[in-house]
Structure 1
């Protein structure tokens, strides 16, 4: 059974392991040195400590999402919910863990009254692009090798 809960600063070392394993084969979109990953994870916690969630299966941490409820989107001109990271260990993929993490992030944004979720994904990370499309995200624009995707959050249940 998958359990998703708020991560703490004590989880950072394990989250770094998940990040490095999860980005194997996609290094062009990620940090590849542990020190850089640790600095990045610390930045994510400083951005929004309440928005980092970790997924566990039988007590083992297998994935995490960094949901930033304080992000000012220059393209939207307002504060939106930004998903900076969503990583699941390769051997735990296709088991609904990414979906649970994404749902937790979107729920967090809705609780904060944010109208939109935004994320950037590498243009050749087809698995992730398809995953986000399946969960209602739409491609908005591109910058170099990044694709920006968004999903409306307001009035989702009433339409």
Structure 2
């Protein structure tokens, strides 16, 4: 495997973000959800219109992980008013770390997480937070390994199915 590179995404990367997002979300969650619920969620959450709005949001940033010319994952972070819940000026939210199954276990998620940590440091944030599905034990354990602790829960709706996300944070200062 060649070295993984991380590049900040722009509106020109919309199609890449859409395709990687749909593929990785499906790979991760299809086995636990109905095909109908999955397709409904993918169509709504990864529509070009929705992604265009997310990419153009001033307090949101996307970073794509590349293995040579192949996009293999991405990171989406939010600060300020772009955060999905807390909207604390002293925090940074990791909204998504998505890695294709072909590259899981190859430290791509860690590289993307390290990018979020780097930006949080540059922006002098006091903590990083995120929501992760309680049944995605691989991700929960990844965040625990990186020093995150659970502080709350919230409901995530996939189609019509209500699922519980663990809210986790890591204090930086």
Whether TM-score is above 0.5 comes out as yes
8 Å CA contact 2:79, 2:89 repeated in 1 = no
Using the size of structure 1 for normalisation, the TM-score is: 0.84
* 1:7-156 to 2 correspondences below 5 Å: 7-24=9-26, 25-26=28-29, 31-33=41-43, 36-37=45-46, 38-48=48-58, 51-71=61-81, 78-144=89-155, 145-154=164-173
Farther-moved stretch of structure 1 (71-80 vs 81-90): 71-80
Distance (Å, rounded) in 2 between the aligned partners of 1:133 and 1:117: 13
Q: Which whole-Å deviations, capped at 9, do the CAs of 1:22-69 have from their partners, x for residues lacking one?
A: 112415697311x53134433332334662111100121111001112
8 Å CA contact 1:3, 1:56 repeated in 2 = yes
Farther-moved stretch of structure 1 (51-60 vs 38-47): 38-47
Residue matched to 1:157: none
Residue matched to 1:5: 7
Farther-moved stretch of structure 1 (136-145 vs 40-49): 40-49
8 Å CA contact 1:48, 1:67 repeated in 2 = no
Distance (Å, rounded) in 2 between the aligned partners of 1:69 and 1:123: 24
Corresponding pairs, count:
153
8 Å CA contact 2:60, 2:76 repeated in 1 = no
8 Å CA contact 1:51, 1:108 repeated in 2 = no
Using the size of structure 2 for normalisation, the TM-score is: 0.78
CA RMSD of aligned residues (A): 2.4
